[in-house]
Amino acid sequence: MKSKKIRVIAIIILIILFNMFTNSYVKASVEDLGNIQGNTVNNTTGTNDNTTDTNTNIDNSTGLYYKVIDNEITIIGSNENMQIINIPSIIAGNPVTTIESGAFENRIDIKNVTFPNTIKRIGESAFSGCTELKEINFPNTNFSIEGLAFEGCISLKEIIIPTDTVWHGIFYNCTGLEKVTFTDNVKSISGNEIFFNCNNLKEVYIPNTVTHIGENVFNKVNSNFSIYGNSNSYAKQFCEENGINFVESTGNLEEEQKPNEDEQKPSEEQDPQGQQNEEKNQTQNNNKNNDKTVATKKLPKARFNKYYNTNNNNCVNIKYNFL
């Protein structure tokens, strides 16, 4: 009987000791696991800073907030009360390639923004609701502009688009927008309803390089707007198929470039002190023929651009031609 009690007591003691050991082991294991996880996170954001840094950083020289992802800079915002956003091509030794979605959304202080040649992507709604934004300077490269990137920028009046990688509604509800120019980098205009509710849009310039225009690109646009382009361009065909007013640019240019008779220099063969009437008539006829030749020959590129910059108010600052 006595030995039985001793065995029971011994078993109870063993159970207590086992429970104490088990609880201590589990607790230690959980703590060790936590330490391992913590060390892993620190290594990702610490020892590999040159590759990825998910922390928010600030570039003091520009006031821009950024993250480093795979050795590239993503801009995520900026200090407040910055009217001019001039995004550099390099920050902390890494190229600036991305504007994060919503990075500058509803910033009513921004009036001007300039992007570098290194930019690859402007995220969705990146500048949506920037109602005081009046000027956008894109690089002359091919990059992606995601959906609604400049939605509601109602102070924007003119824009030059150098890329054909555009998503839906990038200028949705930009009610002040009047003139749009696609550069000769652009081969296709495919974004869905890019200019939705741009009810003051008047002029869209499309170069010969464009060979495709999506059927919904100009949905819900001011019905009185016109597309400008070359007479043998796809833009003209698109306008004819969709009932959009088309204006031939080069025809007017050639006519305007025609020299004035009173500005022409006299021929070296002319006698300034008198000639027979028959010789004068022959000279005048030759001058008229020369005029016709100038009016119909293909204009040099420089003269084309000079015309656009000086003689046609509707084309001020246009740097690209439709030759």
Asked whether residue 249 carries a pLDDT value surpassing 80, the answer given is yes
Strand boundaries in 41-93, DSSP class E: 52-59, 64-69, 72-78, 84-86, 90-91
Asked whether residue 262 carries a pLDDT value surpassing 60, the answer given is no
Exposure letters 44-68 (e unless 16+ CB within 10 A, then b) = eeeeeeeeebeeeeebeebebbbbb
- Amino acid identity of residue 90, one-letter, is I
Burial of 305 (0-12, 13-18, 19+ CB in 10 A): middle
Domains annotated on the chain, with CATH:
52-224 (3.80.10.10)
Q: Write down the pLDDT at residue 11.
A: 74
Segment among 63-72, 149-158, 287-296, 311-320 with least mean pLDDT: 311-320
Q: Write down the pLDDT at residue 3.
A: 65
Q: Write down the pLDDT at residue 162.
A: 96
Q: Write down the pLDDT at residue 172.
A: 95
What mean pLDDT is reported for the chain? 75
The proportion of the chain whose per-residue pLDDT surpasses 70, expressed as a percent, equals: 63
* Confidence grade of residue 12 (pLDDT, cut at 50, 70, 90): confident
Cβ contacts of 84 within 8 Å, gap of 6 or more: 110, 111, 112, 113, 114
Neighbours of 234 (CB within 10 A): 19
Global model pTM greater than 0.85: no
Segment among 38-42, 154-158, 233-237, 318-322 with least mean pLDDT: 38-42
* Confidence grade of residue 196 (pLDDT, cut at 50, 70, 90): very high
Distance of alpha carbon 123 from alpha carbon 67, whole angstroms: 14
242 Rama sector, left if φ>0, alpha if ψ -120 to 50, beta otherwise: alpha
* Confidence grade of residue 88 (pLDDT, cut at 50, 70, 90): very high
Distance of alpha carbon 43 from alpha carbon 21, whole angstroms: 33
**Mean pLDDT calculated for residue range 157-173:** 95
Q: Write down the pLDDT at residue 318.
A: 34
Burial of 38 (0-12, 13-18, 19+ CB in 10 A): exposed
The proportion of the chain whose per-residue pLDDT surpasses 90, expressed as a percent, equals: 56
Q: What is the pLDDT of residues 116-147, one digit of tens each?
A: 999 999 999 999 999 999 999 999 999 999 99
Cβ contacts of 315 within 8 Å, gap of 6 or more: 205, 308, 309
